Amino acid sequence: MHHLVLLCVFLSSVVYGNGGITSSFIRSEWPAVDIPLDHHVFKVPKGYNAPQQVRITQGDYDGKAVIISWVTPDEPGSSKVLYGTVQGKYDFVVQGTYSNYTFYKYKSGYTHHCLVSGLKYDTKYYYKIESGESSREFWFVTPPGLHPDAAYKFGIIGDLGQTFNSLSTLEHYMQSGAQAVLFLGDLSYADRYQYNNVGVRWDSWGRFVEPSTAYQPWLWSAGNHEIDYMPYMGEVSPFKNFLQRYTTPYLASKSSSPLWYAIRRASAHIIVLSSYSPFVKYTPQWEWLHEEFKRVDREKTPWLIVLMHVPIYNSNEAHFKEGESMRAAFEEWFVEHKVDIIFAGHVHAYERSYRISNVRYNVSSGDRYPVPDKSAPVYITVGDGGNQEGLAGRFTEPQPDYSAFREASYGHSTLDIKNRTHAIYHWNRNDDGKKVATDEFVLHNQYWGKNIRRRKLKKHYIKSVVGDWIAR
């Protein structure tokens, strides 16, 4: 009985509360400057033209494929990936493609992309990348098959950069036990540099994150620091560096752009939006999202998650109201389709909302302020990865009623899906070398948790999830 009461308290805190919390915690942090290029975290692999910046992402709609990407710095080398289910024994070979590009006078290495498809669910695969006499070996684990009760743990990181604070976040994330990263945009912050150093810092970031990206999929979304619009250098093609280096399975979800797409993984349907691409009515992104919501099957993948860079609800003075245009375009759909949770970055702090919406206001009439709405998502800003711009420490006062918790500290989040009805969410502050869970709650699924036909089923899952959570 005590466990059920405790669960109810957590669930009610997600829906709405009497007042939010603004944390007064002040952490001692490393200076917000990039790590020097001669630091070991940027070390170039041994061997001539050895593959580097290795990363994987999901390669299809349903999680039975990966795209393996890497860079060879001196010459193209091979675009083949050898793989198999036994370490050192590679029964399969697949051929990829490569390309290179220039940015100002910087000439990139050769970026390879290789689609490995037809994989078995819930299986560990070993893979090898060769370039002449140099080779490197890694592994990854495929997700469980699509099922409403498939358990899966996602990490959430945004605005990472390549400072010592970024390194703290990355190292703590890698101890979390999460199986894939939902990345919320703003990768390298290379646009803080000029001329050839822009490309150099894209390269260093690829090596910086490789200890994680080579072993588990990072699902990419693009932020403002990926735009790289630099007319003083003659570079005016938005997202040029990002699109040349990072790929997404956009075609699998019938998208026309790598910047917005969707995947299904375990029990989750994940939609990635682009805050810096046109999204008003009749644009390609708007039309695509309208159709993608029709493809969502909550009987099979009950957890509906949306990623974007610019937060729709944000009570920090930094980037205040920048998400209003996307809110006006899409919030009604988020409520109509009962999205469970929306993650955003951009603001270099952490904030979580209650379930609220502002869909009743139509400019000329209706409620002008967000109100409690049980059909609305929880909005969470995780833009605190550690980049060189530092923390956004100035929140608006008083704290808005819709804001449940906010704090300006570096960290990352995890969403640990237990089954079709409940997931456990944590925001972990990187406090003086320790992974500290600062904000945590049990998230109640919007579809299965409220379906009257499944009340008996729900009771069994509540006991299971709460028992597991209490035992941590």
The closest of 324, 250, 322, 318 to 289, measured between CA atoms, is: 250
Angle subtended at Cα 79 by Cα 76 and Cα 85, rounded to the nearest 5 degrees: 150
H/E run at residue 437: strand 434-444
pTM: predicted TM-score of the whole model, two decimal places: 0.92
Question: Rounded to the nearest 5°, which phi and psi values hold at 250?
Answer: -65, -35
146-444 fold = Purple Acid Phosphatase; chain A, domain 2 (3.60.21)
Averages of pLDDT over each 10 residues, the chain, 472 residues: 39 55 66 94 97 98 98 97 97 98 98 98 98 96 98 98 96 96 98 97 98 98 98 98 98 98 98 98 98 98 98 96 96 98 97 95 81 96 94 94 94 97 94 70 91 47 46 50
Q: Enter the DSSP assignment of 267.
A: T
Q: Look at residue 9 in the predicted model and tell me its pLDDT.
A: 37
Please report, for residues 149, 304, 309, 349, 412, the alpha-carbon distance to residue 382 in angstroms, rounded to integers and kept in the order given.
Answer: 26, 18, 10, 7, 7
Other beta carbons within 10 Å of 14: 20
Instruction: State the DSSP string of 231-256.
Output: GGGTB-STTHHHHHH----GGGGT-S
Q: Look at residue 18 in the predicted model and tell me its pLDDT.
A: 53
Q: Enter the DSSP assignment of 454.
A: G
Instruction: Specify the residue for token string 């989750």.
Output: 268
Q: Enter the DSSP assignment of 366.
A: S
Active site residues: 319
Question: Rounded to the nearest 5°, which phi and psi values hold at 459?
Answer: -60, -45
SS3 412: strand
Instruction: State the DSSP string of 190-233.
Output: GGGS-THHHHHHHHHHHHHHHHHHTTS-EE----GGG---BGGG
